[in-house]
Amino acid sequence: MKKTLLACAIASVTLSQWASAAVEVKDIRFSPAANMLAYTEFELSGEPLAESLGIDLDTLDPNQVNQPHAFDYKAGIESYEYSEEAMYALNYQSQMGIHLANGPLNKARGGTMQDFGKRVIEMAGAVGFAPEEIPLNMYPLSLPYASGVPELGENIDTATVNSDELDGTTAKGNAMKGSIQTPAYYRDYKTLDWKADSFDKALEPAAIGGIFLKEVMWSQDFLGGMHVAESDEEVEATSATMDQDGKHKLGVSSADGMNGMFLTEESIDKLLTMQQSLGFDGKQLGARITPQYDPAKGIIYFPHKVKVTQGEDNGVNSIAGLSVEDSASTLRDTWMMLWPLSEFYAYSDQRKANEGQNPAFLAVFDGAPFAAAPAANTDADVSNDVAGSDAFSLASNLSNLEFKNLQALHFNSKAGTFVDRFSEGKQGQHVSTYDAAYTLVALQIFQRAHDALPVGYASGDAATGIDTPEGKQALELIRKQADFILSKLVGKDGLVADGLALDGKVDAGKSVDAQFAAVRGLTAAFLATKDEKYRDAARKLFAAADKAYFNNKAGSWIRGDKDEYTPWTQAAISGGLRSAIQNLRNRGDEKEPALELQQLTERYVSWFGNTVNGGMQLAEWLGDSGENVLATGNTGDTDEDGVKQITAVHRAQVLAGKADVTAQ
């Protein structure tokens, strides 16, 4: 495949031209909400971004670091693979939450570990994966806890179980040769659990939504095609019954398909728990949620924090009791659930009106391996919808609840904006720019899902769908919120404030987080409405933020000589920078220097190398991101990218919770 002109425009990018920021990690506490939002943006800023620029992914080799160019590698390998491996760290290894065997899906099958094992074998059969190849002591989560410290024990099993030969080049240009060792922990997760005494054993909608978003994004990737059973070769699904011909299996490969099975099972299980147990009517949990939900007749929502009394069944974590610790509804919780619910709605969509659904997805939800939706939920009449336990019914029911609550609890119609909190029957009076902007992102995906337009990696693509009342409502809300940002939050210096109170008092801060979140949100508004004024505004904001905050000595955006980064910061930068590269860059006679493609990709390489690899990525898994265990001369950072192996730091492959970034 030849490189396009776009790819050629970024060919000269290297990392060496930039100074290196000093990154001092201040707190390693892990939040699924913040981390998994960042890793979702990293995923979208990975292979999908690289491909959109015409880069041939087949030229990338994880063991040839920064080849053929630093941008290609950072996007197509590191950003993408970090996002996948972090998901597994939480969902398969950490033990920071409730085990899938003790969730409602397995309970309905009998509730024993044997019942769960039978289900795993059934899923493996659907994708042609050998069950004995599933890592030992895998600990799949249904629900994650609110936070925890991702430190591993000192007894990680590093015994060698296999070896191979390596011939590669490191990030510093040094040869990376020798015998690659496969350590025991790669195939047996029993020594990879996190510090259980550090867990905040509570359920937060944003935390649930964070990992749910990762699950559904990767599920769509893994199960978006089929493969030939005999050769494991990926093929396009041409019909929803193709997996029943004796030649093909679900999933783009057997291994990816198996991950897609686990992730989809985990997603359905968490939604079932939310539908059955976490709805709150202001008095008690477990309020009944139906498709006919009307906030005017009684509000039901997901409270900000629900304490878990942890039990143990089947030798693994279970829920022994639940109690409300913080009864407020927050905007962040709401948009962080609405986004993945909308993705899951599109992924599991079986509506007869949606004639463009991927046949591979229809095959996943045709009754085996996952339940099909009842006919009442797939016809054109939404008034007859019923609450169900299948994927599409859950996504439809819960996204309806969150969309209506977004309006009833958080939208101030007089001001035309979403507010941060709803508590004790009253709307709050403060607007946070970050959350208002990301609400635009969630609404864009909601509108596309309901109107049967592509989501996932194709969420910015033009297409012809169907018009729905929900889609029209979402577009109206997008316009109002985007207009509010432009009229009330953009200052004379061209930057956005962190927020404001509805009495008119503007927040003093103008954080990097807010600038990039607003760029991301305004770009989503442009993509949804096709109104050029939102693109123009996003371009001006990006240019202003780049001028005000990009520090050549740090190689990233900071206020002054030192700034605090969190995963929320990294999420916004990744999403905002990708928006600039894909949608805001100069076209035609536009000549904004900050939005020239080469400068944008240089910024990407510099930011990622200096702040993500420079200290915030706590550790690195093996193989796909370029890290290896060598038989001799193993340094703990064999690819010399600044990120050490998990055994070298005894930490999981996730982002730090807080770090100071300083210009040197």
Helix, coil or strand: residue 560: coil
Question: In which residue are the tokens 């977004």 written?
Answer: 406
pLDDT tens profile 365-418: 999 999 999 999 999 999 999 999 999 999 999 999 999 999 999 999 999 999
- Measured in degrees and rounded to the nearest 5, phi and psi for residue 147 equal -170, 170
Pick from 40-49, 154-163, 292-301, 364-373: least confident: 154-163
* pLDDT interval class at 628 (50, 70, 90): very high
Q: Mean pLDDT score of the chain, rounded to an integer? A: 95
Q: Return the CA Rg of the chain.
A: 24
Can the peptide bond before residue 62 be classed as cis, meaning omega within 30 degrees of 0? no
Cα separation, 610 vs 663, in Å, equals 10
- The whole-angstrom distance between residue 575's C-alpha and the CA centroid of its chain comes to 11
Helix, strand, coil % (nearest 5) of the chain? 45, 15, 35
- The whole-angstrom distance between residue 458's C-alpha and the CA centroid of its chain comes to 15
Mean pLDDT across 460-489: 94
Question: In which residue are the tokens 């709050």 written?
Answer: 428
Does this model's pTM top 0.75? My answer is yes
Mean pLDDT across 444-463: 92
* pLDDT interval class at 575 (50, 70, 90): very high
Write out the two tokens for 400.
């309806």
pLDDT tens profile 111-122: 999 999 999 999
Write out the two tokens for 16.
């060496």
Mean pLDDT across 83-90: 98
Residue 5 has pLDDT above 60, yes or no: no
Residues 351, 354, 355, 356, CA torsion sign: negative
450 to each of 207, 398, 399, 467, 582, how far by Cα in Å?
Answer: 24, 13, 10, 8, 24
Cα separation, 544 vs 540, in Å, equals 6
Q: Are 167 and 292 in contact (CB under 8 A)?
A: no
